[in-house]
Structure 1
């Protein structure tokens, strides 16, 4: 019997629940359970799900909002926009809006948020994931009109600005804040480290008044505990419960979460700098075996870092076969040529990255050992994992197989290709001038040409470079309590708009 099967076990479903927490059903308050707690609440970090699900479009808003169902853009803080030249866009702002601290929402506040986000003193993920490689400046036309100028054409600028959270002009430059101030329907109330974050409704909100008055966010890494909290009425909604805990069709709802799971490979470090070794890793992992056991059977095998909903997805790529014999042969060939295939390789995971992620990396590590790899497994806490995920990479690091999740729910490969694969990308291991040029070119194209160019980018990464180990396009299970009338969507990968929650 294959050793990996021992890891496909159900997690415990009965654990003592925390005491002292207010019941979820009090009046119009809700309690929401996240799989992990935030390490900061800065508006420029909202693309990270652990932060965005709390504050994006709740405390801080964007100029443009994405309509995930129709894959288009909607006005939010901007009421309209137009492209006036290939490199210029003019946005008209809504008038009469104030931030929660009383500061006016106007052109100057937008410029402040843009300049703060792209300031290299902050390694904001909004900048490194979305704006790196795009030279954007904002200038005031009048108090309620902003002109955006780019060095090269950016035909998807409105979509890009849907990722830029607008915060109060009193938000400090060059340093992170733990107290976000925005224009949204909810005010930040408090954050008790290690326990909860609380938001309260802003009755002076410029838009429609939401039903929910107060939201308390708590976090539990154990899926069974999170699910039980909703089952008993201690919470109203739980993100990312494990497939084995999604046992109630009345409350447990599956939805595509726009995340793609993969192992990133340190391609410059021996023995991972050998193409045969990287191919052997891909061949040694039986992806199909995980579906329906450790990973939901609703997930799909991945060949690239974007899903089918994204412009630039390449439908012609084929999944890696599971072929341990061929993996062993490739390692033997590399060894015969002097490659030290016995060198210890570090496999790095992170607790609660996705449901059953710990069990997944344990099983994957054992599969690699079975074909001859010397794998040491480490599960890192969030801060340690983030330090390894992002540049600058440690000069003396071991070769590593790094588990990561990447979400692209914005509909365009631009928000993946530079960040993950350009030489200057914050999470890129590659250094390929030709690929860099192709990524930059793709970002200036439109329509079919744009899609085709990004498809070639992903083909080169997957077939020529074998830069990583694509795993799955994921789905989430969310448990929604009996008080709420709510159906999760792909938007909930990075945000949960409290204003869209209604009570039965």
Structure 2
């Protein structure tokens, strides 16, 4: 063996030893081990839009009524077989018969009603409701055992698309906070969750659809990208959905893919000194985004809005903010002369491993802001505590802060971004502007060019006039896959890992 490869192997073995993991041969042929960047805060079906939850849950344990065809972008049947709009505010769905949840309960109209009730519950904030339905309230009516009517508080022409992210769950699941024991119709059932260690799922024998090749999966989590990559390299794990660009150094196992995520720091626009547009603009002008690409890969694209070019409502005329630290200093000096407290500390709310090199990026940005005279401090949280600052009511509403965030819109329409992130009533919004609210309200019931233009105007207003965010990147993901697997990442990989798509390479 060449000396360089001896050193590499020794380094990997040492890294695993430090983590308390012994290198071993590949797992049993029919099972896989997936190493994630963090432990899920729950496995609550109505929280599946959180990537740490969705990677385990979606299409494995739970399933929706409809799905998006990745090739065409069109809505396809899954647990629903067909649907039609019977009134401007009403959709009728016909359900697949002969389907059961893993606890034996039948999937029928009553189960759908229970799932919608779970989504709109009052004891917790369900992010799927907030990020998908936004300000839409849904009433369900049972027409027959396998037919359900959905009536919304306003016309929603893309309602079948909305339902692609609403996970169906057993009516026997209790409404007691965020569940750690999900029960769905999917091909796998949760068998164990050893807190802090692993989660395991096993294939169901009574699944209604095609039997997956993978018999079961074990999910573990390690925060360090290099460790996740090493675990796949040594056979301790079979795949990891996220590694850093620096660790993506093996052409045979490491794959780049557009992961659909856009990163930003949300600005608390109503708290001094961030309530002054000049300060918000200075935050953006002080950042060398081209220089920061070393942390994320040269393929990452500078962001100028929170949706990508594949989304209806994307505005191609918006340009990213340039790197202009001198202009940033000038704006801050002008604001200070007018009495704005620009020396006040601004808190950066970060989340551990929200994406690779998240902490390093914040530290680099903090240094850039210091260069132009801004005083920032970083507070890093695990997912559960970070969510407290993401969702209203905000725990420290008078704190000037920048909230580290990433958002995917894989459904192809800006409605899945605009209300939740920017409307005055949006659960993640720190924007309070009637002009934005009016444009969102104009877009949501509309179709065609009227819908597209209203969303485009809203994004331009948010960027050019309000400066609602510190915009970062349309991201590229990097994953490492064991040579024994026949599997490739897709646009959805950062949010879900469908075990039924995995095959095993033929043995030599």
Structure 2 SS opposite 1:187:
strand
Q: What are the residue-to-residue correspondences of 1:134-283 with 2, within 5 Å?
A: 134-173=136-175, 175-283=177-285
| Residue 22 of structure 1: how far off its partner (Å) | 7.6
In structure 2, runs of 5+ residues without a counterpart are: 1-10
The match for 1:382 is: 383
Give the whole-Å Cα distance in 2 for the aligned partners of 1:377 and 1:182.
39
Mapped partners of 1:205, 1:384: distance in 2? 36
Which position in structure 1 is the counterpart of 2:8? none
Q: What CA distance in whole angstroms lies between the structure 2 residues aligned with 1:235 and 1:381?
A: 23
- Give 3-state SS (helix, strand or coil) of 2:100's partner: coil
Give the Å deviation of 1:172: 1.4
Question: Aligned-pair distance for 1:212?
Answer: 0.3
SS at 1:162's partner residue?
Answer: helix
Q: Please show how residues 78-477 of structure 1 align to structure 2 within 5 Å.
A: 78-173=80-175, 175-291=177-293, 293-395=294-396, 397-477=398-478
1:380 is displaced (CA, Å) by 1.9
Q: What is the TM-score of this pair, normalised by structure 2?
A: 0.95
Displacement of 1:395 = 4.7
Secondary structure of the structure 1 residue equivalent to 2:424: coil
Q: For 2:313 and 2:353, how far apart are their aligned partners in 1? A: 29
- Return closer, same or farther for 1:350/1:133 CA change in 2, 3 Å cut-off: same
- Residues 118, 131 of structure 1: 8 Å contact kept: no
| TM-score when normalising by structure 1 | 0.95
Question: Bigger CA drift: 388-397 or 116-125?
Answer: 388-397
With over 3 angstroms needed to count, the CA separation of the structure-2 counterparts of 1:447 and 1:167, relative to structure 1, is same
State the aligned residue count: 492
Distance 1:21 1:415 in 2: 43
- Give the equivalent residue in structure 2 for 1:64: 66
Output the CA distance in 2 between the equivalents of 1:144 and 1:297. 50
CA distance in 2, matches of 1:354, 1:37: 14
Residue 36 of structure 1 aligns with which residue?
38
Query: 2:26 and 2:411 mapped to 1: Cα distance?
Result: 32
User: What RMSD in Å do the two structures reach over aligned CA positions?
Assistant: 1.4
Residue 242 of structure 1 and its aligned partner are, at CA, apart by 0.3
Give the structure 2 partner of residue 7 of structure 1.
none
**Cα distance, 1:381 vs structure 2:** 2.1
Q: Is the 8 A contact 2:16 2:231 kept in 1?
A: no
SS class of match (2:101): coil
SS at match of 2:344: coil
Measure, in 2, the Cα distance between the counterparts of 1:321 and 1:460: 18
Unaligned 5+ runs, structure 1: 1-11
